[in-house]
Amino acid sequence: MPTELLVELLTLSQLCPLLHRKPATVYADIAAKRFDRLPPLVRLPGQRKLLWRKQDVFEWIEQHVQPAVAAVADTRKPTSAKTQLNGIDPPEQRRQIGRPTKRQQLERLAAARGAR
């Protein structure tokens, strides 16, 4: 038998390490009919077992390779003239995660009342 006619099929346990996914994730994608997240599935007549052609899996992975993004020269926010003169960068003000403290709520309420 010529070797070009042989087709190597992968099972779910062989596919998951190639895709770096858990079997439950693959099952969920199939159940939700999100076939764009998986390589083409092979269904043999009379079998319920999930199978994939090895060649299709590698071609699907190659189609989803993204080119590397060029590094951006300077991504920092522009600073004000005052801080540039002093040579000091202003501290980054990050938005606090979660509900504001009671003190912060009262300060905002007082500021809102003072602005009226």
By the 10 Å C-beta count (0-12 exposed, 13-18 middle, 19+ buried), 98 is classed as exposed
In a domain, 88, yes or no: no
83 occurs within a structural domain? no
Q: What percent of the chain has pLDDT over 70?
A: 76
Tokens of 106: 């009262």
- Looking at the DSSP assignment, which residues form a beta bridge with residue 9? 53
**Does residue 13 lie in a domain region?**
yes
In this structure, is residue 16 part of a structural domain?
A: yes
- Domain extent, residue 22, equals 3-63
The token pair at 79 is 């600073």
**pLDDT of the residue at 67:** 85
In a domain, 9, yes or no: yes
Q: Name the CA dihedral angle for 74, 77, 80, 86, rounded to a multiple of 10 degrees.
A: -60
Q: Number of structural domains, the chain?
A: 1
* Residue 53 · residue 9 · CB < 8 Å: yes
Residue 55 falls within a domain, yes or no?
A: yes
Position 113 in a domain: no
The answer, yes or no, to whether residue 72 has pLDDT greater than 80, is: no
| Tokens linked to 101 | 């403290």
Residues 6+ apart with CB under 8 A from 70: none
Per-residue pLDDT tens for 77-94?
A: 555 555 555 666 556 777
pTM: 0.54
Q: Is residue 71 part of a domain?
A: no
